[in-house]
Amino acid sequence: MTLSKYEYYRTENGVLYCGDCLEIMPHLEPVDLVLTDPPYIVGAK
């Protein structure tokens, strides 16, 4: 499988893929850290 069909955006720093993570992740290189900052808004009323 080629990841190019899932490629959404590319810069010199990395690539953004758009697709089903269960299809894409097995083809990616291993990583040591994933840092996210989602807007969870836990407890907001």
For 2-40, what is each residue's pLDDT tens digit? 889 999 999 999 999 999 989 999 999 999 988 887 777
Nearby residues of 1 by Cβ (< 8 Å), 6 or more positions away: 23, 27
Per the CB < 8 A criterion, the answer to whether 24 and 31 are in contact is no
What are the residues facing 14 on neighbouring strands? 11
Longest distance between any two alpha carbons in the chain, whole Å: 45
Confidence class for position 41, pLDDT limits 50, 70, 90: confident
Residue that has been written with the tokens 């996210």 in this structure: 36
pLDDT of residue 6: 94
Q: What is the pLDDT of residue 44?
A: 65
The structure's pTM equals 0.61
